[in-house]
Amino acid sequence: MYFALEIFFFLFLSLVGIFFLWRRLREDLSENLIFSLGLSIFGLTSLFLIPSYFYKDAIFWFVLLGLGVSVYIQSKKKKVKFFEIVDVLTISCLWCFFARAAVLLGFKRDFTELVNFCSVVALIFLYHFIFRSYKQFVWYKSGRIGIAGVMTLFAFFLGRILVGVFLPSVLSLDPRLEISFSAFFLFLTLLGFYKLNKL
C-alpha cells in the first residue's frame, strides 16, 4: 500500500514537473521539445523506482538520484540549460511534497508528518523569495537563473542533516545514511552555486 501511494505521487510529480517545464520554458523552446524533455526525464527516472521496490525506505533517494542523472543526460542531449531545469523541477518537487505531506498529515496526524509539512511550506516560501529577488543580490554577480533552485536544495539538504542529528526518529532511513547522502548532495549544491556565480 505504501509503495503504491509513492508511485501515485511520482506520477503526480511527473505531471506537475512537465506542466512547470512548459510554463517556464514555453517562450524559449517549442512545445514538442518541452514535452519530449519532460517525458524523457521522468521516463528515465521511473527506472530508478525498480530498486526502490526492494528498499522502500530509500525511495526518496532513488527518485532523487534518478532525477539528477536524467536531468544531466537530457540537458546535454536536448541542449537545454541544466540549472534552468533544476530550478523548475525543484519547485515542482516541492509542490508535490506539499500535496503528499498534506495528505499524510490528514491521515496520520503525527509529529513526523507535521514536521514534513511545515518544512515543505517553509521551503516553498524560500524558493519564491529567492526567485523574485535574486537579481537584487549584490553577491550574486552572474545573475543567471537557477540560483533559487540551488539555494533551496542547499537549505533542504542542510535541514535533513540537522534533522538526522537532532530528530533521527523522523527519518525513514538509518540517520547515518541520511546524513551521509544529504551531505553528498549538499556538496553538489555548493558546486552548483559556484558554477552559477562564475562570470
Cell numbers at 112, concatenated: 513526523
Q: Output the pLDDT for position 48.
A: 92
Nearest-angstrom CA–CA distance, 53 and 118: 28
By residue range, what is the domain housing residue 167? 2-197
Angstrom distance (rounded) from CA 194 to CA 151? 11
Residue 1: predicted pLDDT = 60
The whole-number pLDDT of residue 178 equals 92
Report whether 182 contacts 188 (CB < 8 A).
no
Query: For residues 92 and 17, is the Cβ–Cβ distance under 8 A?
Result: yes
Which pLDDT tens digits describe the chain residue by residue (199 residues)?
667 878 888 999 999 999 999 999 998 899 999 999 999 999 999 999 988 888 888 889 999 999 999 999 999 999 999 999 999 999 999 999 999 899 888 887 788 788 889 999 999 999 999 999 998 888 888 888 899 999 999 999 999 999 989 988 777 788 899 999 999 999 999 999 999 988 5
The number of domains in the chain is 1
B/e letters for 148-179, b = 16+ CB within 10 Å, e = fewer, are: bbbbbbbbbbebbbebbeeeeebbebebeebb
